[in-house]
Structure 1
């Protein structure tokens, strides 16, 4: 029974001490972070005002280059589609020659007659 009382008291004391130490460390780290941000704020404002005009120019250049990129991609896709269509036509012709130029409905009818 004596050990349980000691455990409970030690547990509560550890919790309180740990909370106090953690709170102090957290407060110190938070104040450092706030001080660093406060020191960096004037530098950020100066760089933002200088970069506003350059950012606008960059956006315009990116928009122009993205339009060109889209156009190149569109043309490339059109070329690939044309190649695929040509290949499909060639395969249709070669399969038509293999089947003896029969239409699919006639081939199905003749296959049905052969099975009877």
Structure 2
């Protein structure tokens, strides 16, 4: 960590673009022990930063689900109070987490009262 990172309170330098967003997930250790809820604050192809409901130590392997992506495994590379940085074991497509959650039926899965209708005159 360089001196500028220490002064800003950030973890180690990261590469690649990051998307800011808010996703909730439940963290667990590699052996399945629950570690509590986490709110993902930014996400990239190689990692994320999250606020946790309790402190999670650096150096442990974790597993969690991300909406639109599924199960993700990684390691906590830094921890500061209730905030952590996780490096993923395998790259993901972070844009998948931004896609709207929808049913399989497309328009058929949308309730009738929410469907857009064309007005005819």
For the aligned pair, the TM-score class normalised by the smaller chain equals under 0.3
Q: Which has the larger radius of gyration?
A: 1
TM-score by length of 1: 0.19
What TM-score, normalized to structure 2?
0.19
Which structure shows the bigger proportion of residues in strand conformation?
A: 2
